[in-house]
């Protein structure tokens, strides 16, 4: 208890905060490098057009598996050691993907890239643990900014590197970077050994109990699933839309993807405001901004300069809504208890990542069925569903409080 008190009185240094933010960004970027490279990878590995989509799907499956079965280990295993092991797995998987001569080997490597990338979701609650109570929102916000920058930079970076040296280069380059990061973290991270009250099997089985008994977790996860679904739908389809209606090349689309990086500024701002007790208001604002981001590009379509400008603006505002609400949600979830923080984070991320996978699938289907008009309509509906659910939060909270006092 005394050591925990001392930890709470010690503030996280700025350089460790920066290192954790950079680490999360570099790690999670591995999930998205293949997304704009489906064409050249499928040609090189002999995949047909109908199976090429599995290049991204397999990585997503691996990530969800890691969230459910690896992240809970952070509640029972020393966190630094667990992080370093997962990063070494990531290095091996990235090298295998970069050198894979055929589709089966590339798919196996992609699966392990997804599993190992959950190291980022071990580091985020680790950062929350290291932070003092009064700076936790800011720390989580800054670390999540790094993670979101990794997501947003991954697509254009992969396109640029591929245009210079071919698609294999991005995986090999990332393996080198992750190796250096592993060495740096092994020296910089402090030891954090949790004191588990249950074994791993019971820990995994407890995920269902935690989900059932934590309505705030379910609510926050569903909010983010809807928003991230809209985010994934947008970034899955907008490259096709830009090529079809604005004649953009792959390099032009890569430059457009850089626009979304501006949305990451919302994460640290949202974290600071959440520390001041504005979480609920900011959640509602994030949902309204997401709805308007899609509604505007649904109402004003075409191939005009004005329509293109709206796409640029919507890319920024949609990313701001998603990143801001993500930080607010994670700060809320981390306040539920330190001993189950890894499991809470794993459940939250798994649920909203499934929402993202559904959004990507809906985007591909809707664009084929009804073009940009149908896709942008679905994109408007997803955050609107979150907003409708959000409007029930006060009533639910009041009912819970009434039950407690009664």
Burial of 267 (0-12, 13-18, 19+ CB in 10 A): buried
- Confirm if 4 and 127 have CB atoms less than 8 A apart: no
DSSP label of 392: T
Assess if residue 3 is contained within a domain. no
Four-point Cα dihedral 41, 47, 49, 55, nearest 10:
-60
Does residue 379 belong to any structural domain of this protein? yes
Please state at what angle helix 38-45 crosses helix 54-69, rounded to 10 degrees: 100
Q: Which two tokens stand for residue 94?
A: 């990235």
Helical spans, DSSP H, in 189-249: 200-213, 215-246
CB 194 within 8 A of CB 76: yes
Quote the Cα angle for 213-214-220, to 5°: 150
Q: Are 76 and 201 in contact (CB under 8 A)?
A: no
**C-alpha to C-alpha distance for 31 and 14, rounded to whole angstroms:** 27
**Residue whose structure tokens are 């974290």:** 271
- Reading the block at residue 117, the tokens are 């990338």
Rounded Cα distance, 230 and 383, in Å: 7
Among 77, 41, 40, smallest CA distance to 58 is for: 41
Tell me which DSSP letter residue 301 carries. -
**Which two three-digit tokens encode residue 356?**
């993202």
Q: Digits of tens for pLDDT over the chain (406 positions)?
A: 444 444 444 567 788 889 999 999 999 999 989 877 776 887 888 876 556 657 777 888 899 899 888 988 887 889 999 999 999 999 999 999 999 999 999 999 999 999 999 999 899 878 877 877 777 777 877 887 788 788 878 988 998 888 889 899 999 999 999 999 999 999 988 888 877 667 777 878 888 888 888 889 999 999 999 999 998 888 877 877 888 888 887 688 778 878 777 777 777 778 778 777 788 889 999 999 999 999 999 998 888 888 889 999 999 899 889 888 888 888 888 777 666 776 787 788 888 888 887 887 788 788 878 888 999 999 999 999 999 999 998 654 434 333 333 3
Q: Do residues 76 and 177 make contact, with C-beta atoms less than 8 angstroms apart?
A: no
DSSP state of 376: H
The answer to whether the beta carbons of residues 336 and 282 sit under 8 Å apart is no
Cα–Cα distance between 106 and 34 in angstroms, integer? 11
- Give the 3-state secondary structure of residue 373: helix
User: How many domains, in total, are found in the chain?
Assistant: 1
Q: In this structure, is residue 144 part of a structural domain? A: yes
Q: Which of 224, 253, 386 is nearest to 311 (CA)?
A: 253
Q: Does residue 6 form part of some domain?
A: no
Residue 325 CA to its chain's centroid (Å): 12
With a CB cutoff of 8 Å and minimum separation 6, the contacts of 380 are 291, 294, 295, 298
Distance of CA 291 to the CA centre of its chain: 20
Q: What is the pLDDT of residues 177-190, one digit of tens each?
A: 999 999 999 998 88
**What is the rounded radius of gyration, in angstroms, for the C-alpha atoms of the chain?**
21
Q: How many whole angstroms from its chain centre is CA 374?
A: 25
33's tokens: 């490098």
State whether residue 276 is helix, strand or coil: coil
Quick check: is 93 in a domain?
A: yes
In a domain, 2, yes or no: no
CATH number of domain containing 180:
1.20.1250.20
Q: How many CB atoms lie within 10 A of CB 214?
A: 20
Q: Of 223, 245, 357, whose CA–CA distance to 290 is shortest?
A: 223
User: The whole model's pTM is what?
Assistant: 0.77
DSSP string, 36-59: GGHHHHHHHHT--TTTTTHHHHHH
Token code pair at residue 389: 């659910």
- Asked, for residue 394, whether it belongs to a domain, the answer is yes
What's the domain range around 29? 12-405
Per residue in 11-65, pLDDT (tens digit) is: 677 888 899 999 999 999 999 898 777 768 878 888 765 566 577 778 888 998 9
């Amino acid at each position: 208890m005394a050591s925990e008190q001392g930890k709470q009185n010690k503030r996280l240094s700025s350089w460790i905060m920066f290192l954790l933010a950079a680490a999360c960004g570099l790690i999670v970027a591995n999930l998205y490098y293949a997304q704009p490279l489906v064409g050249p990878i499928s040609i090189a590995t002999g995949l047909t057009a109908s199976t090429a989509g599995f290049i991204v799907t397999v990585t997503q499956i691996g990530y969800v598996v890691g969230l459910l079965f690896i992240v809970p280990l952070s509640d029972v295993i020393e966190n630094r050691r667990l992080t370093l092991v997962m990063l070494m797995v990531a290095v091996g998987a990235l090298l295998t993907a970069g050198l894979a001569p055929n589709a089966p080997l590339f798919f196996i490597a992609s699966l392990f890239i997804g599993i190992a990338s959950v190291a980022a979701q071990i580091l985020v609650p680790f950062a929350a643990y290291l932070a003092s109570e009064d700076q936790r929102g800011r720390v989580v916000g800054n670390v999540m900014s790094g993670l979101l920058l990794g997501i947003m930079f991954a697509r254009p970076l992969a396109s640029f590197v591929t245009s210079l040296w071919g698609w294999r280069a991005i995986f090999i380059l990332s393996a080198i970077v992750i190796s250096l990061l592993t060495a740096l973290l092994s020296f910089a991270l402090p030891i954090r050994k949790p004191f588990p009250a249950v074994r791993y099997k019971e820990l995994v089985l407890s995920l269902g109990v935690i989900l059932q008994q934590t309505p705030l977790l379910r609510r926050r996860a569903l909010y983010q699933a809807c928003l991230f679904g809209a985010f994934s739908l947008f970034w899955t389809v907008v490259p096709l839309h830009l090529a079809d209606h604005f004649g953009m090349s792959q390099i032009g689309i890569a430059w457009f993807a850089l626009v979304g990086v501006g949305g990451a500024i919302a994460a640290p701002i949202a974290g600071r405001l959440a520390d001041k007790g504005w979480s609920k208001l900011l959640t509602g604002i994030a949902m309204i901004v997401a709805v308007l981001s899609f509604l505007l590009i649904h109402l004003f379509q075409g191939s005009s300069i004005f329509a293109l400008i709206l796409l640029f603006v919507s890319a920024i505002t949609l990313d701001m809504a998603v990143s801001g609400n993500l930080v607010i949600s994670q700060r809320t979830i981390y306040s539920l208890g330190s001993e189950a923080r890894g499991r809470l984070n794993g459940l939250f991320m798994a649920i909203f990542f499934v929402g993202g996978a559904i959004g990507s699938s809906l985007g591909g289907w809707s664009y084929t069925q009804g073009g940009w008009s149908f896709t942008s309509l679905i994109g408007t509906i997803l955050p609107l569903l979150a907003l409708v659910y959000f409007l029930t939060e006060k009533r639910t909270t009041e009912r819970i409080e009434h039950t407690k006092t009664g």
